[in-house]
Structure 1
Amino acid sequence: MAVLLAMLLDALLGEPRWLWSRVPHPAVLMGRMVSALDGRLNKLTRTSGVVAVLLLVLVAAGLGVLLAAVPGWWVEVIVGAMLLAQRSLAEHVARVADALRLSLGDARRAVAMIVGRDVRDMDGPAVARSAIESAAENLSDGVIAPLFWFALAGLPGLLTYKIINTADSMIGYRTPRYEAFGWAAARLDDLLNWVPARLTAALIWAVSGGAASRGAIARDAALHRSPNAGWPEAAMAPALDVALSGPRSYDGQMQDFPWVHARGRKDAGADDIDRAVGLLWRVWALALLGIALLVAIG
């Protein structure tokens, strides 16, 4: 029941600015912890990274156990709602569509808030594709995966997932500083997202009426450099009949990534972003129905 109510509370309130402008968001606190461990433990070795990840898991799971022990259901609902990102994701992606209808410059600034690639030279379709890709990937990382671990392991599972996902986003890079130290965080994040990423693709496939075969989704997912992120993207692309991924620039260098759903349209626009947002909410509704059925059976 707590998972169900947390989903509804997140959808209703999202991330109220009046609250998070006054107190740090839990994700910010997690980021500070990861940063502190990076500063203190990073010896450029895998061993130091494993120690950091173990500390993160112990703290997150331990805090989850303590919070879950508070009598009543309200703590689980509130903490769960704070760590889900359905409404905020939909709002951020929708802002890119609104900005694209105003001007390309506005659109580039809006999409820069949700992607890590270079946006300076993007044309309109590149902006739209980037927003749609972010919608698909963050649907998995920010909504379905947290729900999966919350439903499976309560607050300890949810908090552990979120802090490892945060660590991966901060130190899970193949750079001289993080190649070794971030290895454990990146591999554990891959493991924790393995089922949710494929579940997200299945949900997108279901709400889009099976726009592509499961074999086609699996084939395109394998084109992605991540073992998980390609799955929701490979399901979203045929659902909108838009080609995603493809060449893009990071740190000033153009990289020739393969197209996902290559036969789809490459002239994506604001209307396609709106359709992606609609898919986000349809997937959320199907997930809500699934959780409600589990509660009823339980």
Structure 2
Amino acid sequence: MILPAALILDAALGEPEWLWSRLPHPAVLMGRAVGWCDVTLNRGGHRRVKGVVALALLVAFALLAAGLVAAIPLGPLPEIVAAAILLAQRSLCDHVRAVAVGLRRGLPEGRRAVAMIVSRDTAAMDAAAVARSAIESGSENLSDGVIAPAFWFLVAGLPGMLVYKMVNTADSMIGYRTPRHEAFGWAAARTDDLLNLVPARLTAVLIALTAGRLRDLPAIRADAALHRSPNAGWPEAAMARALDVALAGPRSYDGTMRDFPFVHPSGRRDPGAAEIGACVRRLWRAWAALLVLALAAAVA
């Protein structure tokens, strides 16, 4: 019953500011470990090989951390707390909801709120682009921050969850096709793609199931193929169908407009705060379905 308890604990408490203002969050520690590998190993030749070595060191660090938690003589409580910390349902929904609140106050507030959760340029966004960005971020991070960690806990316990979070953190920091990171971050990016293969599709199924749209799975599969990511398109396509809005599409990064295709292009192109609120409700419904699965797995 460790995972169900962790899901409920995270949903109830989220990430208390009083705690993480005093202690470094595990995600921060993982980021520091990735940064150390980047600074120390990402130089000279054979960078792809060095990236593989870096990933192996990071995985070993994650497994060591899992072993230390397991060694605490307090029964299942340390694992429950650790797993809850590594989940992000409450904080995800809070951040997405904040964009809706900002938009209702005015476009500048909406832009400021969405800039907290996306990496694209936000200064010139209209209200529809702000809403699309929030919904896309919520959908993708439901997979990365909730479903995938829970899935890997079910597969391999806390070690599996920690390894996933470490790989995902590495991908978010060094898994880019830039001159500095294309070779060094190759192993992190490809491993993250592999570890998210099943969770991304499971996320799409949970969104569709709780929205009563399982009949749309063939269309969701087709829409997901339009996305630049092999995995992120699945939860985004499912959420687009659940809300009947068009997601993705053109957006600007570092001052350069990139012409990405729309996912569910026949959906509405003018979402706003109401659609963001509906997205948050869908996120919680998918979480509830995940909780039922976790309870069933625990009983089995």
Q: Are the aligned partners of 1:61 and 1:159 in contact in 2 as well (CA < 8 Å)? A: yes
Q: Where in structure 2 are the equivalents of 1:96-107 lying within 5 Å?
A: 96-107=99-110
1:242 maps to 2:245: yes
Q: What amino acid maps onto 1:102 in structure 2? A: R
Q: How far 1:152 sits from its partner (Å)? A: 1.2
Matching residue of 2:61: 59
Matching residue of 2:27: 27
Q: Are the aligned partners of 1:212 and 1:239 in contact in 2 as well (CA < 8 Å)? A: no
> Any unmatched runs of 5+ in structure 1?
none
Q: How far 1:14 sits from its partner (Å)? A: 0.1
Matching residue of 2:299: 296
CA distance in 2, matches of 1:117, 1:204: 25
Q: How far 1:68 sits from its partner (Å)? A: 2.1
Q: Once superposed, which parts of structure 1, at least 4 consecutive aligned residues long, lie more than 3 Å away?
A: none
Q: Are the aligned partners of 1:95 and 1:110 in contact in 2 as well (CA < 8 Å)? A: yes
> Any unmatched runs of 5+ in structure 2?
none
Q: What amino acid maps onto 2:40 in structure 1? A: R
CA distance in 2, matches of 1:58, 1:156: 10
Secondary structure of the corresponding residue to residue 15 of structure 1: coil
Q: Are the aligned partners of 1:129 and 1:268 in contact in 2 as well (CA < 8 Å)? A: yes
How many residues of Structure 1 are paired with residues of Structure 2 in the alignment? Answer: 297
Q: What amino acid maps onto 2:72 in structure 1? A: V
1:152 maps to 2:155: yes
1:8 maps to 2:8: yes
CA distance in 2, matches of 1:107, 1:120: 10
Secondary structure of the corresponding residue to residue 4 of structure 1: helix
Q: Where in structure 2 are the equivalents of 1:1-298 lying within 5 Å?
A: 1-43=1-43, 45-71=47-73, 72-210=75-213, 213-297=216-300
CA distance in 2, matches of 1:15, 1:255: 34
Identity %: 63
CA distance in 2, matches of 1:287, 1:159: 19
Q: How far 1:211 sits from its partner (Å)? A: 6.3
Offset from partner CA, 1:116-144 (integer Å, 9 cap, x none): 00001000000000000000000000000
Q: Are the aligned partners of 2:224 and 2:233 in contact in 1 as well (CA < 8 Å)? A: yes
CA distance in 2, matches of 1:19, 1:67: 18
Secondary structure of the corresponding residue to residue 252 of structure 2: strand
Q: How far 1:150 sits from its partner (Å)? A: 1.1
CA distance in 2, matches of 1:5, 1:177: 41
Q: What amino acid maps onto 1:191 in structure 2? A: L
Q: What amino acid maps onto 1:209 in structure 2? A: G
Offset from partner CA, 1:251-280 (integer Å, 9 cap, x none): 101111001000000000000000000000
CA distance in 2, matches of 1:39, 1:180: 14
Q: Are the aligned partners of 1:128 and 1:270 in contact in 2 as well (CA < 8 Å)? A: yes
TM-score by length of 1: 0.98
Q: How far 1:231 sits from its partner (Å)? A: 0.5
Q: Are the aligned partners of 1:46 and 1:183 in contact in 2 as well (CA < 8 Å)? A: yes
Cα RMSD over matched residues? 0.9
CA distance in 2, matches of 1:64, 1:85: 18
Q: Are the aligned partners of 1:212 and 1:238 in contact in 2 as well (CA < 8 Å)? A: no
Q: What amino acid maps onto 1:15 in structure 2? A: E
Q: What amino acid maps onto 1:275 in structure 2? A: A
CA distance in 1, matches of 2:258, 2:17: 36
CA distance in 1, matches of 2:143, 2:79: 21
CA distance in 1, matches of 2:253, 2:215: 30
